[in-house]
């Protein structure tokens, strides 16, 4: 790993002037190793939702780049992120995906650790030299762990900025999805998990602002949902739509419902909660939510989110982690969330609806994945690598943000350009440069 | 890829003076990468037979090294070879193995391309920068595509010689298999496809001239066919036999039927077609075919062919592509052909007979594959690689071609030496040198 | 109802009727004849597929739904995968071969007639990948006599999978 970092190219994969990106960035194993070093083992990485580990000792096992970690709620109620590897010979402390522990006992030789990571005993403490300080031999904690609106992030570089500062203007949009009631959101089930033979950045790009793919890739669900919605008197006609780009390469795409439809078609969130929204959100955020048909976006590097309403009353908030496994493979984690205060019946419907569209067998998901895998496979050869990907449809637009946008960040119209995608790629390219 | 090139300057892989070849080149991933660079992504590679795509818009999907391509008959009737990867984000245009298209529409964001590869529309042309020239963003065409007697080849190096010149003297032999009637040959079914955990070169060597393996490897079918033939009064006694080597490392082995057998045993091609042969072939070619029992050969690097008569009236022309997957794995494609003018009933028998012996379940094939895989596996370790393969039995013969050969090229007797195999290896070694 | 009670309490005739239904169903799905398949379901059918969270043995397993459909959403799903214009994942179609075995049949409470428990192994091959792969699980079907014949009213497929492989599940199990 060190060799690669030292020989890391100061070259660029992104041609900002011409709107193209080298395919190598989407298939190369060297690029992937550099991404681990520069991005996944350094920057803020989303790991879990607070509600997955409500009680002391609750934990989930997640991955940051190649680093396996335990995300655990300590006895003080704090969330910690610990390297899931015994300090003695490296054995994993937690070999399942989730559970509850009073402490972490290594099954190999019996070292045991408190849930805050501190080493309790090696089982053979009497054989240790007096100079060994057990305080130095606890489970390795990620130096930075912060939670924003229930979203738990960690970073291995102690020098990263505060999470709230890193999220910047994107926080305003995240608030509208993840903290719109006083209690916040709740993960309704364990995340779906699946592997796919595609580069992780395709997922991030797809969510940050890829309106162009919707009607082609998802011809199936769109046609079928239209028929169904018409029967319900719900016209899913899109209205105004725009992309938002913020610092650090975060971004999202918002699409409103067309005006002039029956009143009940707007703000189809549970009536019981609408009052609560007003307690938490600003008037601008409420106005945005009221007409929203889809909000979909990405926090750099690999945390995506979507709230989508495809038919009347079918809404779900979904979050994603695009977990890279190699240059050409990733694991996807996908959660469905709802307001904690929502009725059990609503949560049940949100979960089903969320999975139906965007889960491991989602009717949207299945078509995306097939195409992403084929893109990765077809690009993974030297001839294809001579021909960069096109991000041209960002160029005529990305110097002209809208004047009176509805929220913070730089907003762009129309929404079906590639402005946000290219902003993501530029941020990525900057992150990949050798550190100053 | 560039780094790997330097290994070509190290130890000789092919020791011509001593008649040995390093095992490394039959297993190594580095050598495989260099082969991609120097051979498969550069030289003429066989892809398809014209009759697989008779009509406009007919296409088959094939691979050149690691490059996925579409072989399509475009509106003008010309055959094009296009990189099967969208210029936008790399998605495969064709995800099946074969079909017919009016144009190629990418299923991800809807870029559409004409059959000649030209970009028709990005679906969002209004968002493109003014200076983007759509003519630069068509599907990438292989710079060289030519057909010889129905065999479609392509090359990624625009500087390769004309296909006819590349084939040189082997063309005379190919003519007798692939263009012996005015209508030419026809592929009778889609190619059989299978994977083998063996290096691709073992297949090429086996077909170019491996008279030594027949009696041992194919003891089974040889014995059984003899019984079968005796019953039919057809004595498959081999007569004269020799190997032919031509420039560029092509070659073949011909075996005649022994003389003095009943006349009905010779030239067992369909009687109705024999006159047609005379229209197309020269007298020398016809006299060769009259007594031919087996012709088997290879066009460098990975197109093999065989016509074989194992029992009375059981004849078939087969072609092979040895498609490298890695240093130790190969995908084999195998087609059966017959004269277009042949009767339906003859074609049916040729197809069955061809597959019986040389298809994915072929009785010859199965024994070869088992042994090739074991050779690759047993050589894939550093100890074995200290000990090169023996090609000794070429040395006493390869400087003495026979005087009055029946066709062009350099012919050698006896046929059960390794002259043609070592010639293949020498050509391979030259191709792998940096300046070749 | 999700777990087997162990003993088949029905007649051989009933057992055979159930077996014929499930064999016929598997053949229809392998042929991708979704219209005919839908006709084997009751109008209020429920269809659930679960995967499993890997947890310490002391904590016990946890299954979670990856598909949870009623008749309406299930119809949408099969309309999509059955129509070449409406699907990307299933065009070219996945090749499948379903093996339905280890059948146990027991009487079920009203309104259903039987609960059928089977092992399911689905061989799956996509594109030109040389290696096929498998979905494996235990299936529990509630069957009801409806419109004159025995139909599937409720299906639960408990997949023996944790992280799903190779993209998204785009076939009916
Ligand atoms: S490896 Fe954990 S106690 Fe030895
Ligand atoms: S990848 Fe082909 S249109 Fe976008
Ligand atoms: Fe032991
Ligand atoms: Fe999508």
Give me the pLDDT at residue C6, please: 54
Structural domain that includes position A87? 45-159
- Asked, for residue A270, whether it belongs to a domain, the answer is yes
Tens digits of residue pLDDT in B271-284:
778 888 889 999 99
Antiparallel, parallel or unpaired: β C41-53 and C149-159: parallel
Three-point CA angle A408, A412, A417, nearest 5°: 140
Which residue among A108, A134, A159 closes a domain? A159
Mutate to test the interface with A, among C55, C61, C86, C167 (most CBs of A within 10 A): C167
Q: How far is the CA of A40 from the centre of ligand 4 (A)?
A: 24
Return d(Cα B311, Cα B236) in angstroms, integer.
Answer: 7
Return d(Cα A76, Cα A186) in angstroms, integer.
Answer: 21
Tens digits of residue pLDDT in A302-311:
999 999 876 6
Contacts of A279 (CB under 8 A, 6+ apart): A181, A182
CATH code at A396?
3.90.380.10
What is the overall mean pLDDT for chain A?
91
Q: What residues does ligand 2 touch, defined as CB less than 6 Å away? A: B 86, 88-89, 91, 106, 108-111
Q: B touches which chains (3+ CB pairs under 8 A)? A: A, C
pLDDT confidence band for B259 (50 / 70 / 90): confident
Mean pLDDT of A332-339: 96
Same domain, A235 and A348: yes
Cβ contact A221–C80 (<8 Å): yes
Q: What ipTM was estimated for this complex?
A: 0.89
* Closest residue to A384, CB basis, from B85, B122, B132: B85
pLDDT confidence band for B265 (50 / 70 / 90): low
Instruction: Tell me whether the omega of the peptide bond preceding residue B61 falls within 30 degrees of 0, making it cis.
Output: no
What's the total number of domains in chain C?
1
- Asked, for residue A188, whether it belongs to a domain, the answer is yes
- Asked, for residue C6, whether it belongs to a domain, the answer is no
* Closest residue to B195, CB basis, from C91, C127, C130: C130
Give me the pLDDT at residue A9, please: 55
DSSP H or E segment with residue B248: none
pLDDT > 50? residue A357: yes
Q: Above pLDDT 90, what percent of chain B?
A: 69
Tens digits of residue pLDDT in A85-97:
999 999 999 999 9
User: Which residue do the tokens 């084929």 mark?
Assistant: A374
Return d(Cα A103, Cα A119) in angstroms, integer.
Answer: 10
Same domain, A108 and A231: no
Return d(Cα B239, Cα B246) in angstroms, integer.
Answer: 23
Q: Above pLDDT 90, what percent of chain A?
A: 79
Q: Which residue of chain B has the CA closest to A396?
A: B129
User: How does B242-259 read in b/e, with b if 16+ C-beta sit within 10 Å?
Assistant: bbbbbbbbbbbbbbbbee
Least Cα separation, residue C14 to chain A (angstroms): 34
C-alpha dist (Å) from residue A102 to A50, A68, B396: 19, 20, 79
All domains of chain B, ordered by start, with CATH? 45-159 (2.102.10.10), 168-432 (3.90.380.10)
Q: Among A87, A89, A105, which residue has the most ligand 1 atoms within 8 Å of its CB, making it the best to mutate?
A: A89
C-alpha dist (Å) from residue A265 to A182, A292, A294, A307: 25, 10, 13, 16
Contact call for residues C121 and C136 (beta carbons, < 8 A): yes
Which residue among A159, A185, A220 closes a domain? A159
Mean pLDDT of A150-159: 98
Return d(Cα C75, Cα C83) in angstroms, integer.
Answer: 12
**pLDDT lower than 50: segments of chain C:** 1
Same domain, A300 and A271: yes
User: Which residue do the tokens 């060799």 mark?
Assistant: A3
Return d(Cα A163, Cα A169) in angstroms, integer.
Answer: 12
Tens digits of residue pLDDT in B132-144:
999 999 999 999 9
Q: Is the CB of A86 under 6 A from ligand 1?
A: yes
SS3 of chain A: helix, strand, coil, percent, to 5: 35, 30, 40
DSSP H or E segment with residue A251: strand A251-257
pLDDT confidence band for B269 (50 / 70 / 90): confident
Instruction: With both helix axes pointing from N to C terminus, report the angle between B200-209 and B365-379 in degrees, rounded to the nearest 10.
Output: 130
Confidence (pTM): 0.91
Tens digits of residue pLDDT in A403-427:
988 899 999 999 999 999 999 999 9
Least confident of A112-126, A205-219, C57-71, C131-145: C57-71
DSSP H or E segment with residue B257: strand B251-257
Same domain, A202 and A306: yes
Least Cα separation, residue B383 to chain A (angstroms): 29
Q: Which residue of chain B has the CA closest to C85?
A: B107
In the three-class reduction of DSSP (H, G, I as helix; E, B as strand; rest coil), residue B378 is classed as helix
Chain CA centroid to CA A93, Å: 26
Which residue among A127, A159, A191 closes a domain? A159
Cβ contact A189–C64 (<8 Å): yes
Contacts of C15 (CB under 8 A, 6+ apart): C8, C103, C105
Q: How far is the CA of B230 from the centre of ligand 3 (A)?
A: 65
Task: Give which of C157, C173, C141 is closest to C50, Cα–Cα.
Answer: C157
Q: How far is the CA of A311 from the centre of ligand 2 (A)?
A: 27
Cβ contact B95–C130 (<8 Å): no
Least Cα separation, residue A312 to chain C (angstroms): 13
| Closest Cα to atom 4 of ligand 2 | B109
Q: Is the CB of A108 under 6 A from ligand 1?
A: yes
Give me the pLDDT at residue A39, please: 97
Tens digits of residue pLDDT in B159-210:
999 999 999 999 999 999 999 999 999 999 999 999 999 999 999 999 999 8
Chain CA centroid to CA C125, Å: 18
Q: Which residues of A touch B123 (CB under 8 A)?
A: 212, 216
Structural domain that includes position C47? 12-159
Give me the pLDDT at residue A10, please: 61
Contact call for residues B196 and B324 (beta carbons, < 8 A): no
What is the overall mean pLDDT for chain B?
90
- Asked, for residue A33, whether it belongs to a domain, the answer is no
Tens digits of residue pLDDT in A254-292:
998 888 777 666 666 777 787 888 889 999 998 888 888
User: How does C94-114 read in b/e, with b if 16+ C-beta sit within 10 Å?
Assistant: bebebebeebbbbebeeebbb
Torsion angle defined by CA atoms of residues B339, B342, B348 and B349, in that order, rounded to the nearest 10 degrees: -90
Give me the pLDDT at residue B1, please: 36
pLDDT confidence band for A235 (50 / 70 / 90): low
pLDDT confidence band for B313 (50 / 70 / 90): low
pLDDT > 60? residue B6: no
- Asked, for residue C155, whether it belongs to a domain, the answer is yes
Q: How far is the CA of A389 from the centre of ligand 2 (A)?
A: 9
Tens digits of residue pLDDT in A38-58:
999 999 999 999 999 999 999
Cβ contact C66–A190 (<8 Å): no
What's the total number of domains in chain A?
2
Task: Give which of C87, B108, C169 is closest to A224, Cα–Cα.
Answer: C87
Give me the pLDDT at residue A228, please: 78
Ligand nearest to the CA of A296: 4
- Asked, for residue A73, whether it belongs to a domain, the answer is yes
Q: How far is the CA of B225 from the centre of ligand 4 (A)?
A: 58
Same domain, A173 and A144: no
Instruction: With both helix axes pointing from N to C terminus, report the angle between A170-178 and A283-291 in degrees, rounded to the nearest 10.
Output: 70
């Amino acid at each position: 790993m060190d060799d690669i970092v030292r020989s890391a190219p100061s070259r660029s994969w992104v041609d900002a002037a011409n709107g193209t990106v080298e395919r190598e960035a989407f298939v190369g194993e060297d690029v992937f190793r550099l991404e681990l070093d520069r991005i996944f083992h350094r920057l803020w990485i989303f790991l879990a939702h607070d509600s997955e580990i409500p009680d002391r000792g609750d934990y989930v096992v997640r991955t940051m780049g190649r680093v396996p970690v335990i995300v655990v709620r300590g006895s003080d109620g704090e969330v910690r992120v610990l390297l899931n590897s015994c300090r003695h010979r490296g054995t994993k402390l937690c070999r399942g995906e989730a559970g509850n522990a009073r402490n972490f006992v290594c099954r190999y030789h019996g070292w045991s650790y408190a849930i805050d990571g501190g080493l309790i005993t090696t089982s053979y403490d009497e054989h240790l030299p007096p100079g060994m300080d057990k305080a130095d031999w606890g489970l390795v904690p990620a130096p930075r762990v912060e939670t924003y609106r229930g979203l738990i992030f960690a970073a291995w570089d102690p020098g990263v900025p505060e999470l709230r500062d890193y999220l910047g203007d994107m926080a305003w949009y995240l608030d509208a999805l993840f903290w719109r009631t006083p209690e916040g959101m709740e993960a309704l089930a364990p995340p779906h998990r699946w592997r796919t033979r595609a580069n992780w950045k395709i997922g991030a790009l797809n969510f940050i602002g890829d309106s162009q793919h919707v009607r082609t890739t998802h011809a199936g669900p769109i046609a079928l949902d239209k028929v169904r919605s018409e029967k319900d008197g719900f016209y899913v006609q899109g209205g105004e739509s725009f992309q938002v780009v913020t610092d650090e390469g975060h971004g999202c795409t918002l699409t409103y419902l067309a005006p002039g439809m029956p009143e009940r078609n707007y703000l189809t969130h549970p009536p019981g909660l609408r009052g609560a929204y007003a307690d938490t959100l600003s008037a601008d955020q409420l106005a945005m939510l009221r007409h929203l048909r889809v909000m979909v976006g990405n926090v750099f590097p690999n945390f995506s989110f979507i709230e989508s309403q495809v038919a009347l009353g079918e809404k779900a908030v979904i979050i994603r982690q695009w977990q890279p496994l190699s240059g050409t493979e990733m694991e996807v984690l996908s959660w469905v969330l709802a307001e904690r205060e929502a009725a059990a019946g609503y949560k049940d419907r949100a979960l089903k609806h969320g999975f139906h569209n965007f889960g491991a067998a989602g009717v949207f998901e299945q078509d995306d994945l097939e195409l992403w895998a084929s893109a990765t496979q077809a690009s993974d050869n030297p001839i294809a690598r001579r021909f960069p990907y096109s991000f041209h449809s960002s160029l005529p637009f990305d110097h002209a943000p809208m004047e009176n946008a509805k929220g913070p960040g730089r907003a762009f119209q129309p929404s079906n350009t590639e402005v946000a995608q290219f902003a993501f790629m530029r941020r990525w390219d900057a992150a990949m440069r050798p550190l100053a | 890829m560039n780094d790997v090139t330097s290994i070509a300057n190290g130890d000789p892989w092919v020791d011509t003076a001593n008649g040995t070849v390093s095992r490394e080149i039959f297993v190594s991933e580095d050598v495989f990468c260099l082969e991609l660079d120097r051979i498969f992504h550069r030289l003429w590679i066989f892809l398809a037979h014209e009759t697989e795509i008779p009509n406009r818009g007919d296409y088959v999907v094939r691979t050149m090294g690691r490059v996925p391509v579409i072989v399509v008959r475009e509106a003008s009737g010309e055959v094009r070879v296009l990189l099967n990867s969208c210029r936008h984000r790399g998605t495969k245009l064709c995800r099946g193995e074969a079909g017919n298209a009016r144009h190629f529409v990418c299923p991800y964001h809807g870029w559409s391309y004409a059959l000649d590869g030209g970009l028709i529309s990005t679906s969002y042309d209004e968002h493109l920068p003014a200076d983007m020239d759509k003519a630069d963003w068509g599907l990438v065409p292989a710079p060289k595509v030519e057909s010889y007697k129905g065999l479609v080849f392509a090359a990624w190096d625009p500087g390769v010689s004309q296909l006819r010149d590349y084939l040189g003297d082997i063309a005379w032999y190919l003519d007798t298999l692939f263009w012996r009637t005015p209508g030419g040959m026809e592929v009778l079914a889609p190619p059989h496809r299978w994977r083998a955990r063996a290096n691709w070169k073992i297949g090429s060597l086996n077909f170019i001239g491996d008279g030594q393996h027949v009696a041992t490897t194919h003891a089974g079918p040889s014995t059984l066919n003899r019984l079968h033939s005796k019953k039919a009064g057809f004595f498959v006694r081999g007569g004269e036999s020799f190997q032919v080597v031509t420039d560029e490392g092509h070659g073949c082995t011909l075996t005649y039927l022994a003389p003095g057998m009943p006349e009905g045993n010779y030239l067992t091609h369909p009687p109705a077609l024999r006159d047609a042969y005379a229209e197309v072939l020269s007298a020398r070619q016809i006299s060769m075919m009259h007594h031919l029992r087996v012709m088997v050969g290879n066009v460098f690097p990975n197109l093999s062919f065989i016509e074989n008569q194992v029992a009375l009236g059981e004849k078939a022309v087969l072609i092979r592509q040895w498609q490298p997957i890695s240093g130790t794995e190969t995908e084999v494609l195998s087609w059966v052909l017959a004269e277009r003018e042949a009767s339906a009933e003859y074609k049916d028998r040729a197809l069955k007979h061809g597959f019986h012996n040389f298809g994915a379940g072929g009785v010859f094939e199965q024994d070869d594959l088992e042994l090739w895989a074991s050779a690759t596996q047993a050589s894939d370790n550093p100890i074995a690689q200290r000990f090169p393969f023996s090609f000794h039995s070429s040395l006493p013969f390869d400087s003495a071609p026979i005087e009055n050969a029946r066709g062009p090229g350099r012919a050698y007797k006896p046929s059960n030496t390794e002259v043609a195999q070592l010639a293949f290896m020498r050509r391979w070694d030259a191709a792998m040198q940096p300046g070749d | 109802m999700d777990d087997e009670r162990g003993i088949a309490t029905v007649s051989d005739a009933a057992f055979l009727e159930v077996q014929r239904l499930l064999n016929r169903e598997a053949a229809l799905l392998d042929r991708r004849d979704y219209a005919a398949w839908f006709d084997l379901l009751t109008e209020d059918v429920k269809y659930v597929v679960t995967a499993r969270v890997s947890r310490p043995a002391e904590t016990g397993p946890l299954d979670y739904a990856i598909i949870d459909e009623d008749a309406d959403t299930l119809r949408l799903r099969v309309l999509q995968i059955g129509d070449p214009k409406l699907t990307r994942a299933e065009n070219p179609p996945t090749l499948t071969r379903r093996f339905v075995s280890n059948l146990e049949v027991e009487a079920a409470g009203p309104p259903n007639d039987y609960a059928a428990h089977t092992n399911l192994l689905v061989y799956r091959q996509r594109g030109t990948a040389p290696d096929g792969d498998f979905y494996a699980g235990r299936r529990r079907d509630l069957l009801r006599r409806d419109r004159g014949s025995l139909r599937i009213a409720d299906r639960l497929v408990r997949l023996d999978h944790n992280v799903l492989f190779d993209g998204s599940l785009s076939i009916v199990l």
